[in-house]
Amino acid sequence: MTQANPLLDFSDLPHFADIQAEHVGPAISTLLEAGRSVIEQLTSQQAEVSWENFVEPLENATEKLGRAWGIVGHLNAVADTPEMRAAYNENQPAITEFWTELGQNLALFEKYKALRAQPGFDALPVARKTIIQNAIRDFRLGGAELPEDKKQRYAEIQEKQAALSTKFSENVLDATNDYGLFVEDISELSGLPDDVIQAAKTAAEKDGKSGYKFTLHFPSYFPLLQYADQRDLREKIYHANATKASELAGKPEWDNSAIIAELLQLRKEEAELLGYRNFAEVSLVSKMAESPAQVSHFLEDLAQRARPFAEQDLQELRQFAAEQLGISELQSWDSAYASEKLREQRYAFSEQEVKQYFPEHQVISGLFRVIQTLFDVQIQADTATTWHKDVKFYRIEKAGVLIGQFYLDLYARNGKRGGAWMDDARGRRLTANGVQTPVAYLTCNFTEPASIDGVTKPALFTHDEVITLFHEFGHGLHHLLTKVDDLSVSGISGVEWDAVELPSQFMENFCWEWDVLQHMTAHAETGAPLPRELYEKMIAAKNFQSGLQTLRQVEFALFDMRLHDHFDPHGTQSVQDILNTVREQVSVFTPPEFNRFQHSFGHIFSGGYAAGYYSYKWAEVLSADAYAAFEETAVSGNSLSRQAGEKFQTEVLEVGGSRPALESFKAFRGREPAIDALLRHSGMTQ
C-alpha cells in the first residue's frame, strides 16, 4: 500500500483520480512517523543551530504531512462519502496530536530562541526573521512553557476541539443534504424564475420523483425566499434553513447545541491554561487588532454609524410591504421577497434580469481579463486530474514562466460543504530543485448549468455570485502571486487573520466597473453586453439596504467576540442569551425566536474565525481604502490601472506574510488606513 500510495507522491499535483479512502491511514501513519523521526534528530543534534540545519529540514518534513492532510481535508469538504468521512475522522486525532506535540516541544522551542539570539539574526532576510519570531510566539501559544500535567490537558483540549469542529460541520452538511421541500403543483411556484423552476424539476427527477424539489443549498432555497409569491412556501424554507442542525429540526443526531457549548468551554479552558483571561485574547495575539476591547469599540462605532441608514431602510421596506404587497407585519421570510420587489420598483430592474447577462464562460473570461490587466500575468486552461467532472484547472504565467495553478470548483452539489472558500494545495518555496510554484483550490456553490430538453444551457450567475467569485479569487491571488521563497510566510501563510480579507474584498470592487462589466457580460439569448441603462440602475441600487447589511455583519461579529470575551460557559446565560443581547444592541430587524443561526455558524465553530469574524469588516476598511487608490488613478472612469496594480502586487500580494500587514498597507497607500472610503463606498455618508 505505502509504495503505491498516491498521497505519498509529492513530485507534482495531487493524484485525485487515484486517491481512495483506504490510502489515508497508511499515508498519514508513514508521514507522522517520518516527521517524528526528523524532530528527534533535530532535537538531539549538538551542532550550532542554523537555518539550513534546523528550520529547513523541519519544514521539509511538516510540509509533506500538511500537503497530504490538506488533500484529505479538501476531499472531505467537496466530495464527502461515508468512506472518506470515516478515514478523515479516524486520522484526525493523530494529526492533532502531532501538531500539539510539535507546538509543545521545548527542545525545538529552545533552538528557535537560540536562532533569535544569534548575532547574525538581524542580517537574515525579512521573511526568515518573521518565521523565527512567529515560531517563538506560536510555541508559547501552543503551551510549550506549560508544566507537563498542563501540557497533557492542553493536548486533550486540542484533540477534542478538532473532533467537535469536524462534527459540527458534518451535522450542518448532513442536515443540508437531508432536507427536501417537494412541490407538485407548478402554480404554487408563482414568481419564481424559469431557470430556478427547471433546476427544482431536475432535482426532483434525480430523486426519481415528480414535481419540484427545493433543498437547503443556497442556490435552491434562496430564490424561494427572494421570488416565491406563496408566503407559506417562503416560511417553510426559511424555518427549515433557520433551524437546521438545531434542537428544533427534529433530528437530534444532528443537533449542534451541545457541540457549541463544549467548544466554548474548551476554548475558555485553553485560554486560562495559557495565562489569558479568555479565548478572544488568545485569538488576537496573532492578529492586527490589539485587544477585544478595541475590536468591540470598532464594531460598536460602525453599528452606530450604520444604524440611522438601517432604520431608514427598514422603515421604507415595511411601508412598501404593507402598501404594495399586503404584508401588514413584515417577517424574516418576507424580507428578501419584499426587498426584491422594492428594488424592482425603485430601480426598475430585477436581479433575475441582471442574471441573464452573466453566463459562466463570459464571467470567467472577464475575471481573467481584470487579473491579466492589473497584474501583467497570463491565465490559461491546464490539465490535471480532479475530484469531480465539473472541476476546471488553470495555470498562471508571467512572461511565459509558470508562477501558479488553481482548481476551480463552482457548483453546489450533495456531498459538498456549503459556502465559498479558497484553500492552498501547495505553497511557494525555494527548494534544491528550484522554485516550487503555489497551487490553490477555489471553491463556490453556484447553480449548475441547466439541461432543458436534452440541451445544456450555460450556468447563469447572479451579480452577488460574481462578487463572491471575485472575492475568492482575491484570496487566490494572494496565495498565487507571492514572491516569498520561504514556505511559512509565502502567500497567505503567516498573514494576520484580520488582514487576510484585504485582497479578497479589494477584488470585489471591480465587479461594479463599467469597463469591466462590458467585457464580462453577454446576454444568455442575444449575446449583447450589459446595457448602460441597466448598469446605471445597478449602480443606483448598489447601496440598497447597505445599512441593514452592515448591521447584520456587525451582529455576527459582535456575537462572536462576546462569546469569546465576556461569555461564561458555566454561567447562567446561554449562547442564545448572548445573541439576543447583541441583537437588542445593534439590530433593527430581529429574527423570530426559533431562528438558530448559530447552529450553522461554521465560520466560528468549524472554521478559523473564532473571535475573528470581525476580520471581514476590519479588512473592509483596508480594502476600500486600497481600492480608492485605483479610483484616484482612473482614466475616463476605468480604474484598471496597471500602475496601481503593480504597486498593489509588489507591496501587498507578493510579500505575503513576510512582514506585518499594516506595514504592507502603508507601503502601498503611503499612510495609515482610514474608514472614509468604506463609508463612502457603502453610501453611509451624510
- Give catalytic residues, as residue numbers: 472
404 three-class SS: strand
Q: 93, 84 in Cβ contact below 8 A? A: no
DSSP at 566: T
Please state, in angstroms and rounded to a whole number, the distance separating the CA atoms of residues 346 and 343: 5
Please state, in angstroms and rounded to a whole number, the distance separating the CA atoms of residues 414 and 418: 9
From 50, 1, 62, 2, select the one nearest 30 (Cα to Cα).
Answer: 2
Measured in residues, the chain has a length of 686
298 three-class SS: helix
Q: What angle do CA 342, 346, 350 make, to 5 degrees?
A: 65
Q: 167, 251 in Cβ contact below 8 A? A: no
- Which value, to the nearest 10 degrees, does the dihedral of the CA atoms of residues 494, 496, 500, 501 take? 170
Please state, in angstroms and rounded to a whole number, the distance separating the CA atoms of residues 469 and 420: 8
Please state, in angstroms and rounded to a whole number, the distance separating the CA atoms of residues 428 and 656: 11
β-strand 401-411 against 392-398: which pairing, if any?
A: antiparallel
Residue 363's contacts (CB-CB under 8 Å, 6 or more residues apart) are 461, 466, 469, 520
320 three-class SS: helix
Please state, in angstroms and rounded to a whole number, the distance separating the CA atoms of residues 62 and 102: 10
* H or E, element range at 40: helix 21-44
What the block records as the C-alpha cell of 679 is: 463609508
Please state, in angstroms and rounded to a whole number, the distance separating the CA atoms of residues 58 and 71: 20
Using CB atoms within 10 A of its CB, is residue 533 exposed (0-12), middle (13-18) or buried (19+)?
A: exposed
What Å distances lie between residue 531 and 466, 515, 537, CA to CA?
17, 12, 10
From 23, 151, 168, 16, select the one nearest 91 (Cα to Cα).
Answer: 23
β-strand 439-446 against 401-411: which pairing, if any?
A: parallel
β-strand 451-452 against 421-426: which pairing, if any?
A: unpaired
Q: 249, 237 in Cβ contact below 8 A? A: no
